[in-house]
Every structure is written in structure tokens, then in C-alpha cells.
Amino acid sequence: MSVLPTIGLEVHVQLATETKLFCGCPTTFAAPPNTAVCPVCAGFPGVLPVLNRRAVELAIRTALGLGCEILPRTKFDRKNYFYPDLPKDYQISQYDLPFSRNGRLEVDIPHGPGGGTKVVRITRAHVEEDAGKSLHDRRPAETCVDLNRCGVPLMEIVSEPDLESPDEAHAYLAELKRLLLALGVSDCTMEEGSLRCDANVSVRPAGTTALGTKVEVKNLNTFKGVKRALEHEIARQSAALARGERIAQETRLWDEGRGVTAPMRSKEEAHDYRYFPEPDLPALEVPRAWVEEARRALPESPRARRGRFVSAHGLPASDAAVLTEEPAVADFFEALAREIGEAKAAANWVMGEMLARAKDAPGGFRALRVTPAAVGDLHRRVRGGAISANQAKEVLAEMAATGRAAAEVIAARGLAQVSDEATLAGAVASVLAENPGSVADYRAGKGAKAIGFLMGRIMKATGGRANPNRAREILEAELRGRAGA
């Protein structure tokens, strides 16, 4: 049976604050267990939450970036459930007056029948606190609880069920991540738990319109995991429909190791969250002035930037896509393009050596210790023939690691390319004198072989510093002269 999937995603993204949502504990990743905890986030009796101003600012920016309407008055609610890493036995979240709603995200769907641009509607984006972490594998008989993440500010972004395949879901997530990075509201590192995803999935037979029964799939912790989990879940539901079975409305957990989803064993009532208004927090009147200020400061969206890199800089779409994955990369490219006046050359510098270095660097692209001006300087040295393109890669690697200038690295490594006519002519003459056999080969018509061999010798004799184009010209002229003699 041919089926059509319908997918909606709930994404939890950590807002990039220094402190938690309702207390001053730091949000440092990977702090030793239970060392970023205070009476507020540990849920001690008698404490009161105080909302983080920065979290509100970041939430406004996120909502505007998603084209959402920001409610003038928003409130917090308690979502009640019992779990050992939720010490208050409730999560402060938002229920009927969320921070924002009715947004949209334009997503470029690369392939397939749905290829093209798709508008994914955003139902709502609200603010809530994270829970702690349970570690089940440390001890045989107990679960270890770490409360460091309790109270870390999250934005939950809920999409309408507008996605129709795992590929579309993946494209949506990737675009959302690029947007959040461009807005500077989150680090979006899935490994550190700052971007997490749950999915609502249903399937219906092709040709029908009524949506099938919705199944919630949780625990999607990597982009690849999201795609695999959705593929698995759609196949599972399709097979059940084909057998004439009914799909149970339930919550299933994705098991990344086994590659399957399995139903959660909780009873139905575990999902009766009994939301009620948080009595410790009055409603938040969102200052209009903040919203207008944030609207003016909104950066260009990654999608618009991608389009501009193609239209204004004349880059291939694939280059534009790579360069706009991360705002730091896109900013660097634009500055370098201005610096050297050649967009494609700037793109090649950034996409080649710099992104390769960024992959290995612990802090990623932003940790590279070079400025656009420094790379521009290096670029001019290559163009001027001072060093070869190959040598420039080495030089750039060292510049990026140490922050030293191109001239300094070139001098220290003795790399400056030899383009001086007399020096090169001398090297050519001595190599020819040492290799009469090759000269004979050249005369016998094996020119390519002879030149290849002799060039190798010349490069060796000059410690790799000979300007290869100039050296080759001199060598060929010399050989022609001798052959003619």
C-alpha cells in the first residue's frame, strides 16, 4: 500500500544565556555533576523563581526570526509529572499563553517530488526550563541523578504537521539550526543537548485526506537519528496499515542503537500533566520597545543570505550553502571577498583550508586565529608569486593555529618562493649538467618524461622553493636551445 506520511516536529533549543532561567546558577556545559545547583533549581522548599532578562531577549529574537507573533502578555504554567531528575515534580513551562505563535520557516527541499521551497508553519514557540539528567548505566541497581541542567532555559518550537517525508523533516531541522545560529540565540550543539527533537508522525493511504493516528516519537538526539527514526516509524505504521491493523495513539522511544522505536511502558495517565498557572510568577508584559528594537536588529536570514551569495557574489549555489551553514563562516567570507575583491577566490580560501582546519579545531571556525585581512595578505603573496598555492596551505594552517602573520610564517619556514631569474637559471644549468641522460631523452623525443624528471630535480635542489612556472619556462627554453644546437 502506498502511504503518505505527515510529520510535525517539536524542537527544544537551549537559549545561550550565562545563567539558568530562574536562578543565577551557571549553564556551563560538562561541569562536574551537581556543581551548578542552588536551592531554587534543586526545588528546595520556600524558594522563588526570578526570570532571566537575557532569556526573554533571546526568546523575542527567536520568535521574530521565525516570523511569529509575540503575545503582549504571556504567562508561565506548571507542567506536573514525576521523574527523579525533576526535583520540584513540575516543570515551569507555558501552556495557554505561550510567548509567541503563528510563525513560518521557509525551507529549501533539495530533491524528490516535493523539491523546491516549502513554507513550514510554526504553531508556537514558548519558553520553559530543562530538567536534570538521569544516568542509568553507572551503577547496577540505582540511577544516578545530576541536577546541573535543571532550570537551563529552553525554547520549544512546535511546527504544524506540514512535513511529508523524513528528508523534509531533516531539511527543516537543518534550516532551523542555521537560523538559530544566525540569530545568535543558541549554540545548537546536539551532542551537548542544546538542540533536541521529538516528532509526531502519522501515515494515511495515498488518495485519502483524513490524517492517520498520531504517534509521538521521542529521544531523537542527532540529525541522522531523526531521519532514521522517522523512516523506521513510517515503515512500521505502513506495515501495520497493510495488515489491516489500527495504529495505537501512543508515545514511542527511539532506540538509536537498535534502530527501532518501542512504546513507552507508562500508563496513559502519566501524560496527564495537569497544567495550571505558576503561582510564583506574575504574567510577563513583554515590553513593546524590546520587541521593536529586536526587530530592527534582526540579521539577514541564512536563506536570504544564501540567495544573495549567488546573486550578488556570483557563487555557485553549493558554495553559498556551505558558506552560510554558520554565521561566523559567512561573515568571514564576506569580509575576505571585500578584502581581495574576488568572491570565488575568497570562497575557495574559506571552504578549502579554513573549513578543513575548523573541523579539527576544538572551538571550530571561530577558534581559528586569522582575520580576513591576514588571509587577504596571504592571498596577495600567492598571486604575486612569493609562495606557491601548496605552500600557502601550510602557511595558513600555521597562521590559524598561532595567530602569526603570513610574512612571519613564510620567513620562519624559509618558504619564500624563488622567482629570481638568475637563481632559477643557475639551478636549471646545474641540474642539466648533472643529468645528461635526461637531455638525451629530450632529444630522443621523450620530452614530457624528461621535463617531469628534471623539474623534480630542480625543486629538490631549491628545497621546494623554486617558482615552478618560472622554473619550467627556463628549463624548456634551455632544452629547446640545446636540442636545436
Partner 1 sequence: MRVTADLVAHVAALARLRLGPEEAEAYRRHLEALLEYVRVVETVDVTGVEPSPYPFEIALPLREDVPVPPLPREEILRNAPARTDEFFLVPKVIEGKGS
Q: Which long-range contacts (CB under 8 A, 24 or more apart) does 110-119 make?
A: 110/167, 110/171, 111/167, 112/165, 112/167, 114/164, 114/165, 114/168, 118/162, 118/168, 118/171, 119/162
153-159 vs 284-285, strand pairing mode: unpaired
Question: Distance between CA atoms of 201 and 68, rounded to whole angstroms?
Answer: 24
Q: Does residue 279 belong to the site contacting partner 1 (CB under 8 A)?
A: yes
Question: Distance between CA atoms of 240 and 245, rounded to whole angstroms?
Answer: 5
Tell me the β-bridge partners of 251.
Answer: 216
Say if CB 109 and CB 115 are below 8 A apart.
yes
Q: Does residue 243 belong to the site contacting partner 1 (CB under 8 A)?
A: no
- Closest C-alpha to 34, from 147, 153, 173: 147
Helices 302-311, 327-340: crossing angle, 10 deg rounding: 20
- Assigned C-alpha cell, 133: 539528567
Residue 188 binds which of partner 1, Zn ion, none (CB < 5-8 A, kind-dependent):
none
Pick the closer one to partner 1 by CB: 138 or 296.
138
Residue 111 binds which of partner 1, Zn ion, none (CB < 5-8 A, kind-dependent):
none
Pick the closer one to partner 1 by CB: 145 or 240.
145
Q: Does residue 71 belong to the site contacting partner 1 (CB under 8 A)?
A: no
Q: How many residues belong to the site for partner 1 (CB under 8 A)?
A: 68
Q: Does residue 249 belong to the site contacting partner 1 (CB under 8 A)?
A: no
φ, ψ of residue 92 to 5 degrees: the values are -80, 115
Q: Does residue 23 belong to the site contacting Zn ion (CB under 5 A)?
A: yes
Residue 50 binds which of partner 1, Zn ion, none (CB < 5-8 A, kind-dependent):
partner 1
- Closest C-alpha to 417, from 440, 391, 451: 391
Residue 82: strand, helix, or coil: coil
Pick the closer one to Zn ion by CB: 128 or 441.
128
Overall residue count recorded for the chain in this entry: 485
Residue 141 binds which of partner 1, Zn ion, none (CB < 5-8 A, kind-dependent):
partner 1
Tell me the β-bridge partners of 196.
Answer: 12
- Assigned C-alpha cell, 440: 638525451
Say if CB 431 and CB 461 are below 8 A apart.
yes
Pick the closer one to partner 1 by CB: 269 or 360.
269
Q: Does residue 86 belong to the site contacting Zn ion (CB under 5 A)?
A: no
Q: Does residue 25 belong to the site contacting Zn ion (CB under 5 A)?
A: yes
Q: Does residue 38 belong to the site contacting Zn ion (CB under 5 A)?
A: yes
For residue 248, which amino acid is it? A
Q: Binding pattern to partner 1, positions 75-114, x when CB under 8 A?
A: x---xxxxxxxx----x-x---x-----------------
Measured CA angle at 227 (ends 225, 233), to 5 deg: 95
Candidate residues 41, 155, 284, 431; the one interacting with Zn ion per rule CB under 5 A: 41
Shortest CB 56 distance to Zn ion, Å: 18
For residue 271, which amino acid is it? H
Q: Candidates 38-46, 172-180, 361-369, 386-394: pick the segment binding partner 1 (CB under 8 A).
A: 38-46
In the numeric block, the cell 614530457 is attached to: 448
Shortest CB 140 distance to partner 1, Å: 8
Local structure of residue 353 (DSSP, 8 states):
I
Q: Candidates 23-31, 118-126, 245-253, 326-334: pick the segment binding Zn ion (CB under 5 A).
A: 23-31
Pick the closer one to partner 1 by CB: 94 or 467.
94
Torsion of CA 23, 28, 29, 32, to 10 degrees: -90
Q: Does residue 258 belong to the site contacting partner 1 (CB under 8 A)?
A: no
Shortest CB 96 distance to partner 1, Å: 9
Q: Candidates 50-58, 158-166, 376-384, 469-477: pick the segment binding partner 1 (CB under 8 A).
A: 50-58
Candidate residues 47, 144, 174, 328; the one interacting with partner 1 per rule CB under 8 A: 144
Q: Does residue 36 belong to the site contacting partner 1 (CB under 8 A)?
A: yes
- What residue ranges bind Zn ion (CB under 5 A)? 23, 25, 38, 40-41
Interface with partner 1 (CB under 8 A): 17-19, 23-26, 32-39, 42, 50-56, 75, 79-86, 91, 93, 97, 128, 131, 134-136, 138-139, 141-147, 218-219, 253, 264-266, 269-274, 277, 279, 281-285
